[in-house]
């Protein structure tokens, strides 16, 4: 409606007669929906200039000549136990059309409704004629039944999800999670941060005020609306002046995080294979034994932990011993290949089916903390050997996980350079200056 027409219509008393109900009408199409007058007669619309009062038909006359049809859209969120016919009846779909829908439902999406799905019926009223039925399975995927001259037509509708890279940086004042959430990052994303850098940073003990991190991560959009966050693609963490960088990359079968130089952030061994409360006895080749009061080397490290705390395999390997050993009590030994073995002693028990010869993977629970054998309290005695020589588990150089092949590395390096550049290009001035000061 043009402005002059609108102002005239507001002045014309005859106009109020033409308002015959609310709702989105299929006609007339040229009127703006936000106009103060909801609808008018077709005569007025086609006539152009405002007609005389005498030319305006009465509302009753209008109904007869041209029954106004409203397209009403109603949505039902499916609950457990909702049946198709009952739900469609509730939405106003008649039984004849339900039967027609079922005839074309070859994928049987309507006959296998699930709680959480949404059914939207668009019905022309008062004719009570279903125009379109939409079953929304997810935000991305819908099943659409549209009325045509040949009955209903089924269509699977996929709404493409757009993935964009977002950037965030956080300076830690309280804790990684508190400051991260305040910066608008989700718990899930923050858990990814600790997971990526856990090999280099002990997040329970090492993180301090002033540490900071920067992330490039995926955000998923549908029709311009953010619906999810995805993976961290590149990240930097500055811990106590040490800068760590991680780039997500698929090398062969595995997707993992790598340094800019292509080293896996993941190590071949977990540093401490139990969630311990404290180190109750250090590795010490000249220790005075607490029970025998003689100089007996302590060939491992003791981690105090409550009885039955799970003990994990420090790395991938094969069980070479399960059972009781004098002094050690219940013990597991794992052979990791290439000369590496680990030993776990004073265990309260083993996981089911843990037998010699079985393969175990890094982080897999193999046993539970106890105090069997010569032990003064519940703890895990843990040994780390390379080619038979005892090493201090707390300080031994732990090798990186299996490196990339030469071909993978050739493909990775230029990719990593681009992402690293993009990450640095996104830094705030404060973040860049902080990094520059560390470099000096
Ligand atoms: Zn010990």
Average pLDDT score over residue span 44-51: 37
- How many whole angstroms from 12 Cα to the centroid of ligand 1? 97
- Quote the pLDDT of residue 54: 45
User: Would you state the structure tokens that stand for residue 299, as one six-digit string?
Assistant: 């060939």
- Quote the pLDDT of residue 66: 64
Q: Dihedral sign for Cα 303, 304, 305, 308, please.
A: positive
Rounded Cα–Cα distance for residues 329 and 250 (Å): 43
- How many whole angstroms from 321 Cα to the centroid of ligand 1? 18
User: Would you state the structure tokens that stand for residue 104, as one six-digit string?
Assistant: 């074309």
- How many whole angstroms from 302 Cα to the centroid of ligand 1? 5
Rounded Cα–Cα distance for residues 312 and 350 (Å): 11
Residue for token pair 């997707």: 255
| pLDDT at 56 > cutoff 70 | no
Q: How many C-beta neighbours within 10 Å does residue 337 have?
A: 11
Helix 95-104 vs helix 84-91: crossing angle, to nearest 10? 130
- How many whole angstroms from 150 Cα to the centroid of ligand 1? 81
Q: Where are the alpha helices (DSSP H) in 186-289?
A: 187-197
- How many whole angstroms from 282 Cα to the centroid of ligand 1? 8
- How many whole angstroms from 56 Cα to the centroid of ligand 1? 100
E strands, 54-101, are: 70-77
pLDDT tens track for 392-413: 998 898 888 877 889 999 999 9
- How many whole angstroms from 287 Cα to the centroid of ligand 1? 11
Number of helices (H), then strands (E), in the chain: 9, 20
- How many whole angstroms from 103 Cα to the centroid of ligand 1? 73
C-beta of residue 78 within 8 angstroms of C-beta of residue 119: yes
Domains of the chain, with CATH numbers?
A: 3-65 (no CATH), 70-158 (3.10.450.350), 164-264+403-440 (3.10.450.350), 278-391 (2.70.70.10)
| pLDDT at 160 > cutoff 60 | yes
- How many whole angstroms from 136 Cα to the centroid of ligand 1? 59
- Quote the pLDDT of residue 245: 96
- How many whole angstroms from 198 Cα to the centroid of ligand 1? 25
pLDDT tens track for 91-137: 999 999 999 999 999 989 998 899 999 999 999 998 899 999 999 99
- How many whole angstroms from 354 Cα to the centroid of ligand 1? 22
pLDDT tens track for 285-334: 777 666 666 777 889 999 999 999 999 999 999 999 999 999 999 999 99
pLDDT tens track for 182-236: 999 999 999 999 999 988 888 878 899 999 999 999 999 988 889 889 999 999 9
- How many whole angstroms from 328 Cα to the centroid of ligand 1? 8
Give CA 89 to chain center in angstroms.
37
| pLDDT at 31 > cutoff 80 | no
């Amino acid at each position: 409606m043009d402005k002059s027409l609108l102002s005239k219509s507001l002045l014309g008393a005859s106009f109020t007669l033409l308002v015959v109900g609310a709702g989105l009408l299929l006609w007339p199409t040229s009127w703006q929906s936000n106009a103060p007058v909801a609808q008018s007669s077709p005569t007025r619309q086609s006539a152009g200039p405002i007609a005389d009062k005498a030319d305006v038909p009465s509302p009753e006359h209008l109904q007869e000549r041209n029954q106004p049809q409203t397209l009403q859209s109603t949505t039902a969120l499916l609950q457990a136990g909702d049946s198709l016919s009952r739900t469609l009846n509730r939405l106003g779909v008649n039984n004849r059309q339900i039967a027609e829908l079922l005839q074309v439902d070859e994928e049987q999406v309507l006959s296998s409704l699930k709680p959480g799905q949404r059914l939207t019926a668009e019905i022309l009223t008062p004719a009570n004629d279903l125009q379109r039925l939409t079953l929304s399975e997810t935000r991305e995927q819908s099943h659409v039944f549209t009325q045509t001259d040949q009955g209903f037509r089924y269509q699977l509708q996929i709404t493409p999800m757009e993935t964009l890279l977002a950037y965030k940086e956080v300076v830690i004042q309280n804790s990684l999670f508190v400051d991260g959430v305040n910066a608008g990052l989700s718990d899930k994303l923050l858990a990814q941060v600790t997971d990526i850098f856990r090999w280099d940073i002990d997040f329970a003990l090492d993180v301090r005020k002033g540490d900071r991190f920067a992330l490039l991560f995926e955000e998923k959009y549908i029709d311009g609306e953010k619906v999810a966050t995805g993976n961290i693609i590149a990240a930097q963490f500055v811990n106590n002046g040490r800068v760590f960088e991680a780039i997500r990359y698929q090398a062969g079968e595995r997707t993992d995080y790598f340094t800019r130089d292509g080293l896996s952030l993941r190590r071949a061994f977990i540093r401490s294979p139990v969630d311990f409360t404290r180190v109750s006895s250090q590795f010490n080749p000249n220790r005075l034994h607490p029970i025998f009061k003689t100089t007996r080397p302590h060939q491992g490290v003791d981690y105090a932990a409550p009885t039955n705390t799970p003990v994990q395999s420090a790395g991938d390997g094969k069980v070479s011993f399960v059972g009781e050993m004098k002094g050690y009590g219940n013990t597991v030994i794992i052979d990791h290949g290439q000369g590496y073995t680990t030993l776990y002693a004073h265990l309260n028990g083993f996981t089911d089916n843990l037998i010699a010869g079985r393969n175990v993977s890094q982080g897999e629970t193999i046993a539970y903390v106890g105090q069997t054998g010569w032990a003064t309290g519940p703890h895990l005695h843990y040994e780390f050997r390379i080619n038979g020589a005892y090493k201090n588990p707390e300080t031994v150089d732990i090798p990186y996980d299996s490196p990339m092949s030469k071909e993978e590395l050739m493909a990775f390096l230029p990719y990593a350079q681009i992402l690293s550049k993009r990450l640095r290009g996104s830094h705030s001035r404060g973040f860049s200056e902080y990094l520059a000061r560390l470099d000096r």
